[in-house]
């Protein structure tokens, strides 16, 4: 009897299944847009970090070259801290082949040349070469 009076007076408060489904669909669409945007932003940020790290390694190698009679530092010099490279930069001696943009590939092509490469998220990119050396593929 009380329920009949509530329904008759229009006091039935609640959401229909259609209203709930519409809200769930809208939240799903907003979540999908956010995930896609976030992925694009992190990819750009990782690429920018890789370029900055590559620039730091190239600057350090060129400074070493100027101070050491025209010879570039070895990978051991760069990794051990002998050459002033920021400690957060991971320097590897192999060509980058995975999505690790923080890792910078530094390879001596001779004592008077080097190649610096990084991973941009999809392919390896050559940042700089010096001394006429060619980068490994």
pTM higher than the cut 0.75: no
At 95 the pLDDT is: 63
Structure confidence at residue 99 as a pLDDT band (50, 70, 90)? low
Q: Which of 125, 108, 124, 127 is closest to 116 using CA atoms?
A: 127
Higher pLDDT, 11 or 79: 79
At 28 the pLDDT is: 95
Q: Which whole number is the average pLDDT over 17-45?
A: 89
| Residue-wise pLDDT tens digits, 112-132 | 788 888 877 777 788 888 877
For the chain, give the mean pLDDT.
78
The partner residues of 128 in beta bridges, in order of sequence, read 116
At 133 the pLDDT is: 64
Q: Report whether 61 contacts 73 (CB < 8 A).
A: yes
- CA triple 131-134-137, angle to 5 deg: 155
pLDDT at 4 over 70: no
Parallel/antiparallel/unpaired status of strands 124-130 and 90-92: unpaired
Cβ neighbors of 86 (< 8 A, separation 6 or more) are 53, 56
| Residue-wise pLDDT tens digits, 46-64 | 788 888 888 888 888 888 8
């Amino acid at each position: 009897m009380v329920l009949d009076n509530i329904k008759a007076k229009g006091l039935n408060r609640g959401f229909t299944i259609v209203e709930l489904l519409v809200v769930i669909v809208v939240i799903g669409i907003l979540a999908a847009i956010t995930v896609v945007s976030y992925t694009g932003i992190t990819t750009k940020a990782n690429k920018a970090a890789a370029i900055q790290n590559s620039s730091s390694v190239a600057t350090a190698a060129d400074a070493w070259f100027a101070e050491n009679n025209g010879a570039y530092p070895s990978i051991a010099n760069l990794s051990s801290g002998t050459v002033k490279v920021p400690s957060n930069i991971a320097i590897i001696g192999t060509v980058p082949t995975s999505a690790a943009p923080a890792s910078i590939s530094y390879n001596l092509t001779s004592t008077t040349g080097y190649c610096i490469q990084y991973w941009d998220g999809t392919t390896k990119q050559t940042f700089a070469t010096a001394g006429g050396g060619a980068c490994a593929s």
